[in-house]
């Protein structure tokens, strides 16, 4: 506590390449990475893994859009056969959900940041952490198998009874999901225990950075919901191997039960995907507005509220599956409650910017794009939560557009914002801000061009997952395809900007944005043990004594 | 998490200055933090385990609510005696496990290894009895779902060597452990003997369980099992099985018939009523229950629940073995007994789940 770190003013010479021991140079060799227990290295390995998955899933998405360039009424003209099309969208969904979005922020950024933000040396169970990374690899291998075994065509939801009869490698894919589920559970468990038992003296619950609150809420869902998915896919695998009949109508089983089980996990999983993104936005909004967060407690509570409400609304995926009328009404009403904590967050983020000194740099532009896109995604969710409207919109492109606005416009954009924000800390290199801004602009325009037309398509009755469509829809589909190509280009620019920085980027200062959370008081890149002396815990959103130092191009904390 | 670690300075002699002792991971400040973190992690893991099983309990509730008569009918084919014995065995193993935790805190390594070994042995007895139960059912064609063979009315106990097959792996393990023990004796290593001894006994316990189960199962047969009760009636529907019968067996079965269960009680709304006497016109014939989608579904649920539970027993046995190795190295003391404590928690949960499975599956009637 007493140690007065003379921060950023001095460090310029000591940051010469290779002179300082950091977690990247601490040990070398393949095994030093493969067997590392360091949360930072595990986070980086996750990052590489999820980015590779994202690239794979993204290419599949572009193939889907290319296929839909033409109506494909004439099958001979179509890019892919219907069968292949089914496989492509199934793998796109499964890869994006299970391999990319769910682990993206918690496992990659969360692993890197959580212990540093807490000022600890590591997560509570470093071996378990490495174990969950290998479980992720193992699950990804199952998915790769089903990619090359070709034929998984059930959609990522594996609905019965089709998934019982499909000739695709359903068992391999479900085992992949099972293993990935345990990877996710162990990550969540690790984070909860770390936050509960390893906070430094002085860091009370309400002095935690909001990213940690969001990660904590996410971890609760991971721990409580994922086991149910585990048993569901296990029963589905048993259904296929042993013919147990629980989900098979031919054996007196009930396929709707599968949907209940599946969505009991998969709806909360939506919040596994979006909550950490919200945590990132809370950090970004505050730091890049150089102003304390507005409504700290409400944001913290709303994260937990979303996590809890998220467990009560799964039925809204099944309004047309044949539930009792009363049940559908109750689920519909509960669904609307989720909008309250979500709206609280958006309101507070905007309140944070008000009268702040907003820096329009790359992370902030992504954060602003998030607010715009997430708001559209959230508001269109109200259409789908309302029973009367949902009956018409169910399984149309409206649904596709809605969840892409939330998942991609929300989570992916926030993930990119967070990646740009913490990239200097992770790699020690500054990226080219102009290129980053260009990427954010292209992604934003491309995204809207892709998915806004899909809302219109959906309201006009274009069903999702169809490989062909009537001529009237062609213009909108082509707009969407053009947008998708643009989006792909934007993401490519973003990726290249980051890659470029690795080789040609300037040395990053300790605190390039002026953040007040603990990771910015840590050396860049962090040393193996994060902090040689325990850092002083203060208000994570107090910017009053943070000042810019033109010599280093970064900020420092005045004493 | 509220448990405080007892302070025992004698255990602390490795500590020098600010250096971390070998049993304290580098990222923890002290043993209390390490213990709390481990314990909280285990409790969270147990929460996920409960939720994992909850899916199957939901399936059980759903199908029992829909076809109560099927559950009542099929439950007769589960041997209550064996279930009860297994319940007792697991309860006793929870006692030995709790005792092991105590011994690890007190550094009574001999008792600790003994208690861990006893727990392991109980687990093996449980699995031995389970193997008898499973193989007996498989012999009767009582498979899950679509593999279910409708033989409830004309039981043909095919002499497949299911029990023998299930015993192969334990037998191999027994031989391996015995050789390991012999190796320990030859090189005169106390450590190897301490580890191998409990393992040999546990492997023997499996066969003890098999013997006990076989004895009780055959006793049940002599009394006239519920299976043989059904031997009369409903011949027409299952003529295809008849050629498998030899008449002598059928005769013998008919001799032992007590009140036959050819009809299953169910009231007109489909809701079961345990108390009221069911009028004759409201009963469902056995043939309606005795189908892949009815009795077959019950056995699906039975195998899923008990099978996943058995997998947890196996997992527990693996970690118990790990504990025995650690205990044989004298690793546990008053400041480091978290692993024993946490495995204990896990073991109690496995026991606890069985306590629900037993009445729900075996004691319906």
Count CA atoms closer than 13 A to B322's CA, side-chain side.
Answer: 11
Q: Give domain status of residue A13, yes or no.
A: no
Q: Give domain status of residue A8, yes or no.
A: no
Question: Do the chains contact at A238 and B293, CB–CB below 8 Å?
Answer: no
- Confidence at residue B155, expressed as pLDDT on a 0 to 100 scale: 65
Question: Do the chains contact at B40 and A193, CB–CB below 8 Å?
Answer: yes
Identify the DSSP state of A321.
Answer: S
Q: Does the bond joining B33 to the residue before it have cis omega, within 30 degrees of 0?
A: no
Question: Do the chains contact at B37 and A224, CB–CB below 8 Å?
Answer: no
Helix (H) or strand (E) holding A293: none
- Confidence at residue A452, expressed as pLDDT on a 0 to 100 scale: 96
Q: Which of A125, A224, A228 sits opposite B55 (nearest CB)?
A: A228
- Confidence at residue B154, expressed as pLDDT on a 0 to 100 scale: 65
Radius of gyration for chain B, computed over Cα atoms and rounded to the nearest angstrom: 25
- Confidence at residue B158, expressed as pLDDT on a 0 to 100 scale: 67
What value, to the nearest 5°, has the Cα angle with vertex A168 and ends A78 and A73? 20
- Confidence at residue B223, expressed as pLDDT on a 0 to 100 scale: 60
The nearest alpha carbon in chain B to A232 belongs to B55
- Confidence at residue B287, expressed as pLDDT on a 0 to 100 scale: 74
Residue B354: pLDDT over 50? yes
Taking a C-beta distance cutoff of 8 angstroms, is the pair A173, A152 a contact? yes
Residue A497: pLDDT over 50? yes
Taking a C-beta distance cutoff of 8 angstroms, is the pair A543, A516 a contact? yes
Taking a C-beta distance cutoff of 8 angstroms, is the pair B170, B206 a contact? yes
- Confidence at residue A151, expressed as pLDDT on a 0 to 100 scale: 78
What value, to the nearest 5°, has the Cα angle with vertex A42 and ends A135 and A61? 65
Handedness of CA A271, A273, A276, A279 (dihedral sign): negative
- Confidence at residue B77, expressed as pLDDT on a 0 to 100 scale: 87
- Confidence at residue B157, expressed as pLDDT on a 0 to 100 scale: 67
Question: Do the chains contact at A224 and B48, CB–CB below 8 Å?
Answer: yes
From A258, A266, A165, select the one nearest A222 (Cα to Cα).
A266
- Confidence at residue B283, expressed as pLDDT on a 0 to 100 scale: 59
Phi, psi of B24 (to 5 degrees): -105, 120
Q: Give domain status of residue A1, yes or no.
A: no
Residue A41: pLDDT over 50? yes
- Confidence at residue B220, expressed as pLDDT on a 0 to 100 scale: 72
Q: Give domain status of residue A333, yes or no.
A: yes
Give percent above pLDDT 70 in chain A.
96
Q: Give domain status of residue A2, yes or no.
A: no
Q: What is the token pair recorded at A162?
A: 């089709």
Tens digits of residue pLDDT in A433-443: 999 999 999 99
**pLDDT classification of B263: cutoffs 50, 70, 90:** low
Give the pairing type, strands A554-557 and B263-264. unpaired
User: Could you tell me if A103 lies within 8 Å of chain B, comparing CB atoms?
Assistant: no
Containing domain of residue A122, as a range? 36-557
Count CA atoms closer than 13 A to B250's CA, side-chain side.
Answer: 13
Identify the DSSP state of A101.
Answer: I
User: Could you tell me if A536 lies within 8 Å of chain B, comparing CB atoms?
Assistant: no
Handedness of CA B98, B104, B106, B107 (dihedral sign): positive
Which residue in the block uniquely carries the two structure tokens 């550094």?
A: B107
The string of DSSP letters for A354-417 reads TTS-----HHHHHHHHHHHHHHHHHHHHHHHHSHHHHHHHTTBHHHHHHHHHHIIIIIIHHHHH
Domains of chain B: 40-362 (1.20.120.80)
Q: Give domain status of residue A156, yes or no.
A: yes
Helix (H) or strand (E) holding A108: none
Query: Which position has the higher pLDDT, B75 or B179?
Result: B179
Question: Do the chains contact at A242 and B145, CB–CB below 8 Å?
Answer: yes
pLDDT averaged over every residue in chain B: 81
Least confident of A25-34, A191-200, A394-403: A25-34
Tens digits of residue pLDDT in B284-323: 677 777 778 888 899 999 999 999 999 999 999 999 999 9
Q: How many domains does chain A have?
A: 1
From A552, A519, A559, select the one nearest A4 (Cα to Cα).
A559
Residue B102: pLDDT over 50? yes
Give me the CATH number covering residue A58: 1.20.210.10
- Mean pLDDT within A401-429: 96
Mutate to test the interface with B, among A194, A241, A243, A269 (most CBs of B within 10 A): A243
- Mean pLDDT within A188-193: 97
Least confident of A131-140, B109-118, B286-295: B286-295
In B38-62, which positions are buried (b, 16+ CB within 10 angstroms) versus exposed (e)? bbbbbebbbebbebbbebbbbbbeb
Query: Which position has the higher pLDDT, B257 or A462?
Result: A462
- Confidence at residue B290, expressed as pLDDT on a 0 to 100 scale: 77
Question: Do the chains contact at A228 and B144, CB–CB below 8 Å?
Answer: no
Mutate to test the interface with A, among B48, B150, B306 (most CBs of A within 10 A): B48
In A314-323, which positions are buried (b, 16+ CB within 10 angstroms) versus exposed (e)? bbbbbbeeeb
From A260, A269, A272, select the one nearest A331 (Cα to Cα).
A260
- Confidence at residue A531, expressed as pLDDT on a 0 to 100 scale: 87
In B211-223, which positions are buried (b, 16+ CB within 10 angstroms) versus exposed (e)? ebbbebbeebeee
Question: Do the chains contact at B37 and A193, CB–CB below 8 Å?
Answer: yes
The string of DSSP letters for A128-197 reads HHHHHHHHHHHHHHHHHHHHHS----STTTT-TTHHHH--S-HHHHHHHHHHHHHHHHHHHHHHHHHHHH
User: Could you tell me if A37 lies within 8 Å of chain B, comparing CB atoms?
Assistant: no
Q: Which of A192, A230, A238 sits opposite B44 (nearest CB)?
A: A192
Question: Do the chains contact at B48 and A251, CB–CB below 8 Å?
Answer: no
Mapping DSSP to helix (H, G, I), strand (E, B) and coil, where does residue A83 land?
A: helix
How many CB pairs below 8 A link A and B? Answer: 124
Tens digits of residue pLDDT in A204-245: 999 999 999 999 999 999 999 999 999 999 999 999 999 898
Query: Which position has the higher pLDDT, A146 or A306?
Result: A306
Identify the DSSP state of A281.
Answer: H
The string of DSSP letters for A413-436 reads HHHHHHHHHHHHHHHSEE--HHHH
For residue A244, list chain B residues with Cβ-Cβ distance below 8 A. Answer: 144-145, 297, 300-301, 303-304
Which residue in the block uniquely carries the two structure tokens 């169809």?
A: A466
- Mean pLDDT within B183-193: 94
pLDDT averaged over every residue in chain A: 91
**pLDDT classification of B159: cutoffs 50, 70, 90:** low
User: Could you tell me if A258 lies within 8 Å of chain B, comparing CB atoms?
Assistant: no
Q: Which of A124, A226, A245 sits opposite B41 (nearest CB)?
A: A124
Handedness of CA B44, B48, B53, B58 (dihedral sign): positive
Q: Which of B28, B51, B292 sits opposite A251 (nearest CB)?
A: B292
Distances (CA, A) of B45 to A182, A224, B5: 11, 10, 21
Residue B183: pLDDT over 80? yes
Identify the DSSP state of A523.
Answer: -
Mutate to test the interface with A, among B36, B46, B52, B288 (most CBs of A within 10 A): B52
Residue B222: pLDDT over 70? no
Residue A10: pLDDT over 60? no
- Mean pLDDT within A146-161: 84
The string of DSSP letters for B288-304 reads HHSSTTTHHHHHHHHHH
How far is Cα of residue A462 from the mean position of the Cα atoms in its chain? 28
Residue B337: pLDDT over 80? yes
Query: Which position has the higher pLDDT, B255 or B309?
Result: B309
From A360, A343, A355, A352, select the one nearest A541 (Cα to Cα).
A352
Whole-number Å distance between alpha carbons of A464 and A401: 10
Q: What is the token pair recorded at B308?
A: 């996943």
User: Could you tell me if A86 lies within 8 Å of chain B, comparing CB atoms?
Assistant: no
Q: Give domain status of residue A23, yes or no.
A: no
Phi, psi of B305 (to 5 degrees): -70, -50
**pLDDT classification of A19: cutoffs 50, 70, 90:** low
- Confidence at residue B2, expressed as pLDDT on a 0 to 100 scale: 41
User: Could you tell me if A256 lies within 8 Å of chain B, comparing CB atoms?
Assistant: no
- Confidence at residue B18, expressed as pLDDT on a 0 to 100 scale: 54
- Confidence at residue B233, expressed as pLDDT on a 0 to 100 scale: 39
* Phi-psi category of residue B21: left, alpha or beta, with phi > 0 → left and psi -120 to 50 → alpha: beta
Q: Give domain status of residue A321, yes or no.
A: yes
């Amino acid at each position: 506590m007493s140690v007065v770190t003379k921060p950023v003013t001095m460090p310029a010479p000591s940051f010469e390449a290779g002179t300082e021991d950091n977690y990247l140079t601490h040990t070398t060799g393949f095994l030093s990475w493969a067997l590392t227990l360091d949360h930072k290295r595990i986070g980086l390995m996750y990052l590489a893994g999820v980015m590779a998955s994202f690239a794979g899933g993204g290419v599949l998405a572009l193939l889907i859009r290319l296929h839909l360039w033409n109506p494909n009424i004439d099958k001979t003209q179509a890019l892919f056969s219907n069968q292949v099309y089914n496989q492509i969208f199934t793998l796109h969904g499964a890869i994006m959900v299970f391999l990319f979005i769910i682990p993206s922020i918690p496992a990659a950024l969360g692993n890197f940041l959580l212990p540093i933000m807490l000022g600890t040396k590591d997560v509570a169970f470093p071996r378990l952490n490495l174990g969950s990374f290998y479980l992720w690899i193992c699950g990804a291998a199952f998915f790769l198998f089903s990619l090359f075994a070709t034929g998984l065509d059930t959609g990522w939801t594996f609905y019965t009874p089709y998934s019982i009869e499909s000739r695709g490698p359903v068992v391999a894919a479900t085992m992949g999901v099972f293993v990935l589920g345990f990877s996710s559970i162990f990550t969540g468990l690790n984070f909860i225990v770390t936050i509960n038992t390893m906070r430094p003296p002085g860091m009370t619950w309400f002095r935690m950075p909001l990213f940690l609150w969001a990660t904590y809420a996410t971890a609760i869902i991971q721990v409580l919901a994922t086991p149910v998915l585990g048993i569901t896919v296990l029963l589905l695998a048993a259904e296929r191997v042993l013919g147990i009949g629980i989900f098979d109508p031919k054996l007196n089983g009930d396929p709707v039960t599968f949907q209940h089980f599946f969505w009991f996990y998969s709806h909360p999983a939506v919040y596994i995907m979006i909550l950490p993104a919200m945590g990132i936005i809370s950090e970004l909004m505050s730091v890049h507005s150089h102003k304390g967060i507005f409504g700290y407690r409400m944001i913290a509570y709303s994260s937990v509220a979303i996590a809890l409400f998220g467990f009560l609304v799964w039925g809204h995926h099944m309004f047309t599956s044949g539930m009792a009328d009363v049940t559908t009404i109750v689920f519909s009403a509960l669904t609307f409650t989720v909008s309250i904590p979500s709206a609280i967050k958006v309101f507070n983020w905007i309140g944070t910017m008000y009268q702040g000194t907003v820096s329009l740099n790359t992370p902030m532009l992504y954060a602003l794009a998030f607010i715009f896109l997430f708001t559209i995604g959230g508001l269109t969710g109200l259409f789908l939560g309302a029973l009367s409207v949902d009956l018409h919109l169910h399984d149309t492109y409206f649904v596709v557009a809605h969840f892409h606005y939330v998942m991609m416009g929300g989570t992916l954009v926030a993930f990119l914002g967070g990646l740009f924000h913490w990239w200097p800390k992770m790699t020690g290199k500054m990226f080219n801000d102009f290129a980053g801004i260009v990427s954010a602009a292209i992604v934003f325009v491309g995204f809207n061009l892709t998915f806004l037309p899909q809302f219109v398509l959906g309201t006009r009755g274009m069903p999702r997952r169809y490989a062909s469509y009537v001529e009237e829809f062609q213009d909108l589909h082509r707009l969407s395809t053009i947008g998708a190509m643009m989006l792909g280009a934007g993401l490519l620019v973003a990726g290249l900007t980051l890659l470029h920085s690795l080789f040609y980027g300037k040395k990053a200062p300790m605190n390039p944005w002026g953040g007040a959370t603990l990771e910015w008081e840590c050396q860049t890149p962090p040393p193996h043990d994060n902090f040689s002396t325990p850092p002083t815990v203060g208000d994570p959103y107090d910017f009053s004594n943070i000042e810019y130092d033109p010599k280093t191009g970064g900020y420092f904390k005045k004493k | 998490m509220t448990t405080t670690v007892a302070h025992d300075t004698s255990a602390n002699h490795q500590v020098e200055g600010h250096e971390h002792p070998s049993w304290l991971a580098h990222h923890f400040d002290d043993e209390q933090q390490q213990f709390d973190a481990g314990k909280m992690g285990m409790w969270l893991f147990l929460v996920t385990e409960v939720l994992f099983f909850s899916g199957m309990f939901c399936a059980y509730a759903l199908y029992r609510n829909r076809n109560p008569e099927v559950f009542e009918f099929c439950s007769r084919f589960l041997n209550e005696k064996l279930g009860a014995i297994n319940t007792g065995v697991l309860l006793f193993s929870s006692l030995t496990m709790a005792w092991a935790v105590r011994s690890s805190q007190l550094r009574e390594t001999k008792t600790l290894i003994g208690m861990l070994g006893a727990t392991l042995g109980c687990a093996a007895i449980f699995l031995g009895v389970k193997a008898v139960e499973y193989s007996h059912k498989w012999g009767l064609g009582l498979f899950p779902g679509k593999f279910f063979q409708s033989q409830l009315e004309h039981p043909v106990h095919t002499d497949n060597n299911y029990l023998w097959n299930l015993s192969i792996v334990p037998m191999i393990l027994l031989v391996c452990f015995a050789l390991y023990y012999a190796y320990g004796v030859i090189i005169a290593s106390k450590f190897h003997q301490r580890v191998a001894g409990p393992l040999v006994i546990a492997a023997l316990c499996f066969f003890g369980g098999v013997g006990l189960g076989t004895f009780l199962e055959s006793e049940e047969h002599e009394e006239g099992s519920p299976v043989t009760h059904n031997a009369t009636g409903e011949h027409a529907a299952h003529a295809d099985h008849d050629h498998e019968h030899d008449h002598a067996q059928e005769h013998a079965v008919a001799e032992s018939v007590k009140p036959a269960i050819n009809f299953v009680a169910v009231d007109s709304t489909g809701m079961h009523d345990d108390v009221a006497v069911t009028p004759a016109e409201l009963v469902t014939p056995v043939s309606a229950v005795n189908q892949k989608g009815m009795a077959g579904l019950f056995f699906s649920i039975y195998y899923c629940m008990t099978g996943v539970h058995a997998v947890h027993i196996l997992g527990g046995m693996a970690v118990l073995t790990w504990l025995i190795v650690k205990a044989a190295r004298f690793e546990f003391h008053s400041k480091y007994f978290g692993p024993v404590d946490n495995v204990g928690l896990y073991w109690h949960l496995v026991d606890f789940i069985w306590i629900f499975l037993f009445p729900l599956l075996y004691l319906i009637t």
